Chains A and B, each alone.
Chain A
Amino acid sequence: MTEITVTVLRFNPETDAGPHPEEYTVEVHDGARVLHALHAVHAQDETLAYRYCCGSGQCGSCAVQVDGAPVLACLAEAKDGMVVGPLALPVVQDLEVDLSPYLERLAYIDPAPCAAFPTKEEIEAIKPLRDCIECMACVSVCPALLVTDFAGPTAMRQDLRLALDPRDTGDRINEAVKEGLFFCTSCQRCWKVCPKGIEIPGKAIERLREIANRQGLSLPRHIDVAELVRTTGRSVPRTKETFLEEVPGVIEPEGEARATVGFFVGCMYNGRLPDAALDMIEVMRRNGIRVVVPHEQVCCGSPLIRTGQTAFLDQLKRRNIEAFRSRGIDTVMTMCAGCGSTLKNDYDTPFTVMDATEVLDRYGIEPPAKLRIAATYHDPCHLLRGQGISEEPRALLRKVAETFVETPNRCCGSGGGVRSGVPEEAAALGAMRGEAFEASGADVVVSCCPFCEFHIAEHTKLPVKDLMTLLREGYEQKDRDGAGQQ
């Protein structure tokens, strides 16, 4: 037996003004789960309200937050000092939340009278969507639910499960659209917390959007974007000189080359924020990295995949892969979080893909001057969850900003085609983001994704900068300081 301290967020909405933490010291056995620690707390204080039933991860009753992350109490290991709170859903009491409004929105089958048993292939397609234990962890973290009446990630999973079942007679695609199919920002939070690892955005929502697309149900703004990609190879219209038009095919570093990478620029940095991309190039040059920029590269296809318009996706993929493969490049660098996530997760590439922050982290950088700013960092969903990158950008930021403050992570609302397709939702999430940054005490917001930066800039009074721009400014400051000393 070992002794551990557990803090539980207690709350009785009928008598308490708000949740309050209470600390307990309990003894648990080796290998105890959070649930067993809660049992031990309960043995000390029988007024604790918490749910559990099967104790083996199959009934979905015991989802709670441990240190802010949703887990099943019966599966997550108990840790000394952990803070256990309810899921971010309406609290009934203590750790019990009201699941019923979300359970009610799950569609149920409307079976044809004498339908045959599905084929093995059909069964295999449905099975991964069937693992859901309706714990509602996904619902509790979904940003779309904060600002829309989205039915939630698992409701989308259920819609696809039914759409794939030949026994069902319902019109699931139309229903899914009504229930908010296009509200998903593809932030990837839902499936990262799903105890069953059901990849709802990629394996359910995008599949539903594909079927919706085939049925002519794509949003008009999404269709426009797809048309733009089809005709120009780019998802952003040309309004000024693009990055690719400005740079040569190979950009040599200052001094000796320590490494060579290919650069996949992406539509936003190419057409809308080329200056940030040029800043990145300067940072690479300064740090001895040769950058090869194939000019025939096109849109990665992310705007098409996220919105289910995949008809000519393969052409884009082939062209992009060929652009780098033909130059013998073994590492392709991305700078846009969305492009990086797409190349890493939706492509099968003969080369390694790395985000610019990973490249700089791998080779190490010359320290820039510390700018006299208080910076906060916005984790782009497609970098944080899409690529699992959170430390590298922070480490770089700490090198260049005198003060660094955290702002709790949340999706800005611009992804998944939401900015173009459901602008009110994107604006509402953007506004929440803006408020959070302004409350953080920072005087500049820094990120690594052109979509996030562009969107957040519309919703905050604070300046929004790309991390690469900031690094370049750090070097410029350093040079000025050096010149001043001489």
Chain B
Amino acid sequence: MRALEVIDCHVLVIGSGGAGIRAAIEADRYGETVLLSKSITGKGGCTTMAEGGYNAVLRDTDACALHTEDTMRGGAYLNDPALVDALVHDAPARLSDLVSWGAVFDASADGEVAQRSFGGQCRPRTCYAGDRTGHEMIATLMERLRGSGVERIEETPAIELLKDSGRVCGALTLDRKGEVRAIRADAVVLATGGGARVYDVSTNSGTGSGDGFAIGYRAGAELIDMEMVQFHPTGAVYPYDARGRLVTEAVRGEGGRLINAAGERFMNCYDPERMELSTRDVVARAIATEVLEGRGTKNGGVWLDVTHLPARRIEERLPVMLEQFLRFGVDIRTEPMEVAPTAHHIMGGLSITPEGQTTLPGLFACGECSGGVHGANRLGGNALADTQVFGKRAGEAAGRSPERRATIDRVQVEAQEERLTAFFRGEVSPISVQRQLQQAMWDGAGIRRNESDLRTTLGTVGELNGAGLNAASGRNLTACCAVQNLCTTAGLIVRSALLRPESRGAHYRTDIVQTWDAQTSPFGHTRISLKGAGIEEAGR
């Protein structure tokens, strides 16, 4: 065996979305920092795709207490209050960081950052840059990163965390040629984003394979509330290959109306007060119900209509939507969009403290791969704020970690090398496993769930997880690892879903009749780790 190449640093950040870049910028102030990325730095993940905006309390007409209440209510009170507190209080300062680093958010007439209304919020609180807010954030963070001392390693995923006597001390990486390297670090920050790609219909980017959940879990970290998967109410329906592509909530924020095939503005029957601006779980279920009960379009969706708005407003505020639909032959200024729910966000994830510390020493997490901030349902605009607030916190806490001498565990390295070699002997195409998994998850662990379907799905996931995947060449090894991570993430979601015997937020069980609501629920977080799994229950 060849000698293992080892890179040494103080902090290793895994993932270059909004959370990872923010963490790396912060950690860089404390010592040598490496930013490892599966994609080209800044081009991976979902942050750059985010359209709608970033929530922060900026004006006197708003208050942190209101943002907290909206977030908790939206999250069906499953959120970790300490994390919500950190989110709400730091979001404005982190927005200021972005602004001072050159972010080009839209300005209001009074020369401040403009804000608009988003679902589930009692004040217009969402800051935006047209409908390319996440892209603007990444552009800003990339400029800051280019001016920092952070070392970037690109197109190289982490495949496993390294541990030295119970403490995370780095990661093994796999490059495009299939070469394994080790990065040794005093602290590691996981910022690998979400994993909604476990579903057949999803808004997520190609890198959203849930790597962080899987490698954190394998290393022994605890994850919470993994059953909480947000289905965004409005994903595109056509063309087939682009199904699930997000139709931003800003469309409803700007006044878009949901109409069923019978021409009814059906949100009236589900949430007459908030109508289209109700929380995502409510709107997604409403659409799913309309379609299920036969009031959907022939492609299995409903209409989202902005034709009553002035064309100029659509052109100015929703340029990306306008352009995307035009490309597929629909002019949203004169015709409605056809939409249906799509898997969007994993609220659950690695259990963290407000400093981003996971349950494993030496391992921090931030952004979508962590859990607890959004409870059972995330409000639009809170995830981008989350990336900045917890990116900074995790980067700082990791940066403050003491320097350590760690040895790289040969046994661990050999096990991984063996795992990779086995892929050359395997016979199953990772692409076909991925497709089967996504379909099984969509059918059995989607918007409406019941125990029997969940059990069947768990069986399928288990089988797929055991498939002997084949790598056609060294560069295909990463795909095999990604598909295994996808399977692991799916398993965590389904097992957690079976643990929660209630409907709450995004988790909707059709087979359970319950007498409590979110605030009086006897249940707390589901927790899952290598040691076991369970759900917190009052009085037990």
B241 and A52 contact, CB distance less than 8 A: no
Across the interface, which residues of B come within 8 angstroms of A485, CB to CB? none
Asked whether B144 lies within 8 Å of A108 as measured between CB atoms, the reply is: yes
Check B241–A53 contact: CB distance below 8 A: no
B520: Cβ under 8 A from any A Cβ:
no
Q: Which residues of chain A are within 8 angstroms of B327 by Cβ–Cβ distance? A: 75
B-facing residues in A121-139 (Cβ within 8 Å): 123, 126-127, 130-134
Interface contact B104-A123, CB-CB below 8 Å: yes
Asked whether B130 is an interface residue with its Cβ less than 8 Å from the other chain, the reply is yes
Asked if A58 and B107 make an inter-chain contact with CB atoms under 8 angstroms apart, the answer reads no
Secondary structure at the A interface, as helix, strand, loop or mixed, is loop
Determine the residue in chain B with the shortest Cβ distance to A158: B143
Question: Cβ of B476 and Cβ of A30 under 8 Å apart?
Answer: no
Shortest CB distance A209–B (Å): 23
- By secondary structure, the B interface counts as loop
Contact status B205-A120, CB under 8 Å: no
Interchain CB contact under 8 A, B100 and A127: no
Chain A residues with Cβ under 8 A from B142's Cβ? Answer: 108
Partner of A32, one of B102, B206, B239, B431: B239
Structural contact, B240 and A29, CB atoms closer than 8 A? yes
Q: Of the candidates B135, B144, B238, which one forms a contact with A31 in the assembled complex, judged by CB atoms under 8 Å apart?
A: B238
Question: Are B49 and A165 within 8 A (Cβ)?
Answer: no
Q: A55-B205, A106-B146 are in contact. Are A31 and B43 (CB under 8 A)?
A: no
Q: Which residues, 111 to 162 on B, are CB-close (under 8 Å) to A? A: 111-113, 129-130, 132, 134-136, 139, 142-144, 146-147, 154
Once the chains are docked, how many angstroms separate the CA of A28 from the CA of B45? 26
Q: A46-B472, A56-B245, A106-B146 are in contact. Are A111 and B102 (CB under 8 A)?
A: yes
A59: Cβ under 8 A from any B Cβ: yes
Q: Contact string, A44-60, partner B, CB cutoff 8 A, digits 1/0?
A: 01110101111111111
Q: In the bound complex, how far is the Cα of B324 from the Cα of A43, in angstroms?
A: 27
- CB neighbors of A among B451-481 (8 A): 472-473, 475-476, 479
The A/B interface has a contact count, at CB < 8 Å, of: 135
In the complex, what residue of chain A is closest to B41 when comparing beta carbons? A103
A96 to chain B, nearest CB (A): 8
Q: How does the 8 Å CB contact mask read for B425-450 relative to A, with 1 for contact and 0 for none?
A: 00001010000000000000000000
Docked-complex contact B206 and A130, CB < 8 angstroms: no
Q: Which residues of B contact A120 (CB under 8 A)?
A: 107-109, 111
Complexed CA–CA distance, A130 and B143 (Å): 12
Rounded to whole angstroms, the CA-CA distance of A108 and B142 in the bound complex is: 8
Q: Considering the complex, give the chain B residue whose CB is closest to the CB of A118.
A: B107
Q: How far is the CB of B203 from chain A (nearest CB, A)?
A: 9
Q: Number of A interface residues, CB 8 Å?
A: 53
Q: Which residues of A contact B245 (CB under 8 A)?
A: 55-56
A61 to B238, CA, bound (A): 23
Contact in complex: A33, B139 (CB < 8 Å): no
What residue in chain A is nearest B472 (Cβ atoms)?
A: A46
- Number of B positions contacting A (CB below 8 A): 56
Which residues 398-435 in A have Cβ within 8 Å of B in the complex?
none
Q: Is the CB of A127 within 8 A of B40?
A: no
Q: A123 to B100, Cβ gap below 8 A?
A: no
Q: Does B242 contact A (CB under 8 A)?
A: yes
User: Do B40 and A99 have beta carbons less than 8 Å apart?
Assistant: yes
Q: Please name all residues of chain A whose beta carbon is closer than 8 Å to the beta carbon of B479 when the two chains form the complex.
A: 46
**Residue ID in chain A nearest B479 by CB atoms:** A46
Given the interface pairs A33-B241, A115-B100, A131-B132, the reply to whether A59 lies near B476 with Cβ below 8 Å is no
Task: Check if A392 is an interface residue, CB within 8 A of chain B.
Answer: no
| CB proximity of A108 to chain B, nearest CB, Å | 4
> Given A58-B48, A110-B147, does the pair A47, B111 have CB atoms closer than 8 Å?
no
Asked whether A117 lies within 8 Å of B143 as measured between CB atoms, the reply is no
**A residues 302-327 touching B (CB-CB < 8 Å):** none
Q: Are A61 and B39 in contact (CB under 8 A)?
A: yes
Interface centre among B106, B109, B111, B246 (most CB of A within 10 A): B111
Nearest-Cβ distance from residue B327 to partner chain A, whole angstroms:
6
Closest to B142 in A: A108
Per the bound structure, the CA–CA distance linking A58 and B147 in Å amounts to 23
0/1 string, A198-218, CB within 8 A of B gives 1: 000000000000000000000
In the assembled complex, how far is the CB of residue B137 from the closest CB belonging to chain A, in whole angstroms? 11
Residue among B43, B104, B107, B328 making CB contact with A53, cutoff 8 Å: B43
Chain A CB within 8 A of B44 CB: yes
A91, B351: Cα distance in complex, Å? 42
Complex Cα–Cα for A109 and B98 (A): 12
Counting chain B CB atoms within 10 Å of each CB, the highest count among A30, A61, A110, A119 belongs to A61
Residues of B within 8 A of A56 (CB): 49, 242, 245-246, 324
A32 to B106, CA, bound (A): 34
Give the one of A31, A47, A53 with max B CB within 10 A.
A53
In Å, the complex CA distance between A278 and B322 comes to: 49
Q: Does B99 contact A (CB under 8 A)?
A: yes
Q: Are B135's CB and A108's CB within 8 A?
A: no
Given contacts A33-B241, A119-B111, contact A55 B43 (CB under 8 A): no
By a CB distance below 8 angstroms, the chain A residues around B99 are 117
- Give per-residue flags for B324-343: 1 if the beta carbon is below 8 A from chain A beta carbons, else 0: 10011000000000000000
When chains A and B are docked, how far (Å) is the Cα of A42 from the Cα of B206?
A: 14
Partner of B49, one of A42, A58, A100, A127: A58
Known: A47-B476, A109-B102, A111-B101. A54 touches B242 (CB 8 A): no
B112, B144, B176, B242: the one within 8 Å of A117 (CB): B112
Query: When chains A and B are docked, how far (Å) is the Cα of A419 from the Cα of B13?
Result: 49
Which residues of A pack against B, CB within 8 Å?
28-33, 36, 42-43, 45-47, 49, 51-61, 75, 92-93, 99-100, 103, 106, 108-111, 114-115, 117-120, 123, 126-127, 130-134, 162, 165, 167-168
7 contacts between A and B (CB under 8 A): A31-B240, A36-B241, A55-B206, A92-B176, A109-B101, A109-B143, A167-B100
- Return the 5 tightest CB-CB contacts between A and B, nearest first: A31-B239, A108-B143, A46-B472, A109-B102, A29-B240
